[in-house]
Amino acid sequence: MEKNTYIIHTDGGSRNNPGEAAIGVVIERNRTLVHEFGKTIGIATNNVAEYTAVVEALQYMKTIEKTGKYSIHFILDSQLVVNQLNGIFKIKDSTLREFVFQVRHLEQEVGGHISYEAVRREQNKRADYFVNHALDEA
């Protein structure tokens, strides 16, 4: 990865799907932790939680970067969300379609080059930790 790249791990989860849901976000730049958090988001599905994590991460990025001279590489363990955001899968669900519109709007506001990659759950442990910690504390 190039020097001006943020790596953002996001995760979302729901107990009982739909059920009490939470998100986890871990943001790094140059292998240095920038910000990490988890929080509950109320009753939602797993997919809504996954998208909410991406939205929250992009909203946070708007507050710390104004130049647009960087890249953001998202790492998620949701194949569905990554493939929808990469334009590989069609978005049939109207709720998820609204999330994609919101993500696209935020991408334009944030600027820079933004990419999405799906990984195995084991490669997204820290973001997953924040999801489960938030749910355990709720």
For the chain, give every domain's residue range. 5-137
The predicted-structure confidence for 55-100, as pLDDT tens digits, reads as follows 999 999 999 877 778 899 999 999 999 999 999 999 999 999 999 9
pTM above 0.85, yes or no: yes
- Is the CB of residue 72 less than 8 Å from the CB of residue 114? yes
**How would CATH label the architecture of 5-137?**
2-Layer Sandwich (3.30)
Sheet of 71-76, strands arranged across: 32-44, 19-29, 5-14, 71-76, 113-118
The predicted-structure confidence for 31-61, as pLDDT tens digits, reads as follows 899 999 999 999 999 999 999 999 999 999 9
Contacts of 119 (CB under 8 A, 6+ apart): 75, 76, 77
How far apart (Å, rounded) are the C-alpha atoms in residues 76 and 124? 7
State whether residue 4 is helix, strand or coil: coil
How far apart (Å, rounded) are the C-alpha atoms in residues 2 and 87? 24
- Is the CB of residue 54 less than 8 Å from the CB of residue 81? yes
